[in-house]
Amino acid sequence: MLLHILNRSPATSEVYRQALAAMGPEDRLLLIEDGVQGAMSTLVGHFAEVTGRLYALRDDLEARGLIAHCDTTVAVTDMAGFVTLTEDADRTLSWF
């Protein structure tokens, strides 16, 4: 199982499609930086195929005033949780 890290918003960039194309059936996706826009209820549909395996970084949601807009299907994690996600995965890949 790999952890994929995405820092681009699906509203402005198609990089998320590359991340999804490279994901295996158990892989997880963590949204960081501008990528956390993808956790918004209006945009989370782009990640429908990885529901239940989608995470977003709390610091980046809060800094952008997006925490209240975060969809309930997204697991919100802090920096320590970010490290834990990398521990649980065999490897990580970054998409930017």
Please give the residue ranges that form the binding site for another protein (CB under 8 A): 2, 5, 7, 14-15, 18, 21-25, 27, 32-34, 59-60, 79-80, 82-84, 86-87, 89-96
Q: Which structure tokens are listed for 8?
A: 């681009």
Nearest to another protein of 41, 79 (CB atom): 79
Q: Are 11 and 43 in contact (CB under 8 A)?
A: yes
Nearest to another protein of 41, 83 (CB atom): 83
User: CA 69 to CA 86: how far, in whole Å?
Assistant: 26
Nearest to another protein of 25, 72 (CB atom): 25
Q: What are φ and ψ of residue 53, in 5° steps?
A: -120, 20
Closest separation in Å from C-beta 93 to another protein = 5
Closest separation in Å from C-beta 35 to another protein = 10
Closest separation in Å from C-beta 10 to another protein = 15
Q: Which DSSP letter does residue 40 get?
A: B
User: CA 43 to CA 29: how far, in whole Å?
Assistant: 15
